[in-house]
Structure 1
Amino acid sequence: MADITGDQRIQSEVLEGLATAVNHRRWFVELALPHLGDNPIEIGSGLGDYAIEWAEHLPKFTATEADPDRLVLLKERMAEYSNIDVKQMLLPVENPAGEYSAAVSYNVLEHIEDHVGALRSMKELVRPGGKVIIIVPAFMFAMSQVDIATGHIRRYTKKTLSAAFVEAGLEIEKVHYANALGLLGYYTATSIFKLAPKEGPMVKVYDSLVLPVTKAAERIVRPPFGQSVFCVARSPQ
């Protein structure tokens, strides 16, 4: 079984804080939506914020969580959504059915020691030709005490993430950085001022003022750096 490291309490605090970054979440929802197909599975759904927004556009969606306590909260929250199924899942999965149109996982892979094995397991969860969609934090120079406390083993570049996908037997369709200004803000907050991205004025100002400008600019020009790396790959036919 792949180990997911980190302090669950701190992870929950950060998740709750980032849940207030509505514009950021909607941007990242939009990135994955064209690739999800009709029956995707999310690995590491956390509090379910992305799952709820994706499921609005889909006939069926499966949300998963490895942590038992967070799984209970996830099931309670998803009870009112008839098209969302909730499962406990920790990668790698034994004897995956390969029934899903896509496997999507945001900010999870950086917690897993055997990240290639995790990607390989996601590949086996989807149908031949199905997609694996990943977002991970970018650039090791931005590794902070917040990363360590929340269980981040590594941060990525386009090159290192692509190498992991290829080693897992996936065919890359697109890979790019996202949220360039967010990287600068994250590094300043966490490495210089030693702050965590919890709910509060800092997150609200970033989400309402900085994020829309960044999103608009990156629709025109892909930046050479960003807070995150976004990758879409295909399972071989």
Structure 2
Amino acid sequence: MPEITGDQRIQAEVLEGLATAVNHRRWFVEFALEYLGDNPIEIGSGLGDYALEWAPHFARFTATEADPDRLVLLKERLTGHSNLEVRQMLLPSDDTDTYSGAVSYNVLEHIEDHVSALRSMARLVRPGGAIVLIVPAFPFAMSPVDVATGHVRRYTKRTMAEALHAAGLRIERLHYANALGLIGYYMATSVFRLTPSEGPMVKFYDRFVLPLTKGAEQLVRPPFGQSVFAVARVPEIAG
């Protein structure tokens, strides 16, 4: 694999930092479980952290990655899990299949033509199946870290809804998540110009702040958040 430099180095630091945020990941894993059926596909699995959390809940789970170098690492990491399949996938795509659902976390913001990418996801899912998404929220929080990791946009509920409707999908759930995370991310990346990499700050937030945020948001949906969570359905075939 080529030496990681520049933006690739920052991407690697961010992925490694997120890998240590175990409580955050498990919270977001819970969001998707009830919608994905028995044979879902994940679009943009990265290093496989979410795939390893989701896979035990399904008879079959497919992980995908677009980047060839990360795909090699993903295959190595997921070897030995009999219900896990790994394939390369770059969106937009003309691929079709009959998965029970699709899940894609923090991927859509990297894709210029995000409506075509959503249509590609819909072609992978059988009619009536769900597409479950998490994307970063609020354009004002676009930071040097976003730019360095290849983000072309951040979303609001309105812009997420517009993209889903344009792709012909029916919205089932749409809300913000992780309100305190947005404040922390903005301060860290835009004010102090830090990279959210592995370290005591990420571990402190994940261990002590995240459980409080999760508990509060299970009672009341916040009016803002670090992420937008969406569930959309692929239209049923007319009889």
Please give the TM-score of this superposition, normalised by the length of structure 1: 0.96
1:194 aligns to what?
193
Partners of 1:160 and 1:77 lie apart in 2 by: 35
- Secondary structure of 2:159 counterpart: helix
CA contact (8 A) 2:10 2:195 kept: no
2:54 aligns to what?
54
- Secondary structure of 2:57 counterpart: coil
Residue correspondence of structure 1 range 71-110 to structure 2 within 5 A: 71-97=71-97, 99-110=98-109
1:3 aligns to what?
none
Structure 2 unaligned segments of length 5 or more: list them.
1-5
1:13 aligns to what?
13
Structure 1 pair 58/193, CA: closer, same or farther in 2 (3 Å)?
same
Instruction: Give the drift of 1:7.
Output: 3.0
Residue correspondence of structure 1 range 164-179 to structure 2 within 5 A: 164-179=163-178
Instruction: Give the drift of 1:13.
Output: 1.7
Partners of 2:141 and 2:94 lie apart in 1 by: 34
The structure 1 segments of at least 4 consecutive aligned residues displaced by more than 6 Å after TM superposition are: none
CA contact (8 A) 2:171 2:230 kept: yes
Partners of 2:234 and 2:164 lie apart in 1 by: 10
Instruction: Give the drift of 1:11.
Output: 1.4
CA contact (8 A) 2:136 2:227 kept: yes
Instruction: Give the drift of 1:94.
Output: 1.9
Please give the TM-score of this superposition, normalised by the length of structure 2: 0.95
Q: Figure out how many residues of one structure are paired with residues of the other and give that number.
A: 231
Instruction: Tell me the amino acid that sits aligned with residue 105 of structure 1.
Output: S
- Secondary structure of 1:35 counterpart: coil
Partners of 2:153 and 2:220 lie apart in 1 by: 27
Instruction: Tell me the amino acid that sits aligned with residue 211 of structure 1.
Output: L
Instruction: Give the drift of 1:95.
Output: 3.9
Partners of 1:119 and 1:113 lie apart in 2 by: 12
Instruction: Tell me the amino acid that sits aligned with residue 72 of structure 1.
Output: V
2:227 aligns to what?
228
Instruction: Give the drift of 1:87.
Output: 0.2
Q: In angstroms, what is the RMSD of aligned CA positions?
A: 0.9
Partners of 1:80 and 1:49 lie apart in 2 by: 15
CA contact (8 A) 2:128 2:235 kept: yes
- Secondary structure of 2:50 counterpart: helix
Instruction: Give the drift of 1:10.
Output: 1.9
What are the superposed Cα offsets for residues 158-205 of structure 1, whole Å, 9 maximum, x if unpaired? 000010000000000000000000000000000111001100011001
CA contact (8 A) 2:95 2:120 kept: no
